[in-house]
Amino acid sequence: MGELVETFDRSRLTTAASRIGDVASNHTYTIIGDVNHADAAPHEVIANPETMHALSSAGVKHIAMEMFLVADQPVLDAYEDGTISDRTMEYVVDKMSAPSLTQDGMGLDDTHQRNAYFDIARNAKAEGIRVHGVNGSEGALPPDQIGPVNDLIGGMKLTMALAIENNPDFFDMKRIDQGNFMTKTLYENGYNDEEVIAGLTMTGFRKQSFVDLDDEQGLREILIDRLAGDPDLAKRIQDVTGGEKSVVIYGQMHMARPAGDIDGTLPDSANIAIYPDQAEFAAKVEPAMALAAKEFGMDFSDAPDFKLDVKTGQWTTMETGDVAKVVIPPLPSMPDMAAQEEVPSLQRKTPELSLPEIRF
């Protein structure tokens, strides 16, 4: 009987969505490791309606994300509560986000990433899951300024989003006219010159700037400060989710240390690292991480509990070493991946009994 139950359980876990949902059903915090911010695939996998439904069915009530700031929360709440529309929310995510490492730091197109962030918000809302911005800009802001700055920018972003929602002509304006409209809106709502400039800069209506990628020492300090803030970040995640079943999406390096990082601090957690191409990551990124660990004096040896390789459609359970083929949903950023092929039903070794494929 035990073998039959095990075979049935394996046969139903034939999609990435069902595998992720299964992990979520067994843990309070399921942490999705974004292995490279320049790749949209990890967020696209979670944004997919099938995955979102699997998470909802597993009892997930919250999604906490690095790619939404604490300052984004007032707008996220207004969207969840129906105060602002899909159209406004999509504009805010696409056109009013903080500086992007992919676009502003590396000069790459981040359209797929921003589309995925909005899809997470939209599809989570459809499943009754609340989305939280938990990135307080650790490393970029002094600890004592994280709260005040996020409160200030959050209030301005909500004011701007509501102004968009209440102006049906906004979307037909040229970008320069949209910026003038926002400038007028902020002044009319009592913000001073310095605050207006900060708000327009953070929301892209003035030229944004990112960290200097040529300043290796500065980047090192920011990274060390961000990683040092992981325990405080984990506490913020617990606070905003109320300890309910949640998914966390954050850079995988924040889960790479044996202790003192996100998964080491959050209780009853499991880490799933999602790789667009695991072989490429191992060849190009892991050596750089090993060098960084040596330079920083940090231990990045903690492996994830599960790995999902989008390119090959392989799901690896690290504790047992089991590797299974799973169906990956169509991802806009990887339209030609081979992993979209259907996975055949699993069969018992004895010929007299076979089990049909059962999707989660």
Give pLDDT tens digits along the chain (360 positions). 455 445 445 556 799 999 999 999 999 999 999 998 889 999 999 999 999 999 999 999 999 999 999 999 999 999 999 999 999 999 999 999 876 555 555 566 789 999 999 999 999 999 999 999 999 988 888 889 999 999 999 999 999 999 999 999 999 999 999 999 999 999 999 999 999 999 999 998 987 765 565 677 777 788 888 888 999 999 999 999 999 999 999 999 999 999 999 999 999 999 999 999 999 999 988 888 888 788 888 888 899 999 999 999 999 999 999 999 999 999 999 987 644 444 443 332 323 322 222 222
Closest CA to 205 of 218, 214, 196: 196
Q: Pinpoint the alpha helices (H) of 31-174.
A: 41-47, 49-57, 73-80, 86-95, 111-126, 143-165
CATH number of 15-152+214-340: 3.40.50
Query: What pLDDT, on the 0 to 100 scale, is given for residue 355?
Result: 25
Phi, psi of 274 (to 5 degrees): -110, 120
Q: How far apart are CA 271 and CA 29, in angstroms?
A: 9
Phi, psi of 187 (to 5 degrees): -65, -40
Q: List the beta bridge partners of residue 63.
A: 131, 247
Strand 29-34 vs strand 314-317: parallel, antiparallel, or unpaired? Answer: unpaired
Query: Which helix (H) or strand (E) covers residue 185, if one does?
Result: helix 175-188
Where along the chain do its domains lie?
Answer: 15-152+214-340
Q: How far apart are CA 116 and CA 130, in angstroms?
A: 16
Query: What pLDDT, on the 0 to 100 scale, is given for residue 356?
Result: 28
Query: What pLDDT, on the 0 to 100 scale, is given for residue 297?
Result: 85
Q: For tokens 């309910």, name the residue.
A: 244
- Inter-residue contact 162 to 152 (CB < 8 Å): no
3-state secondary structure of 248: strand
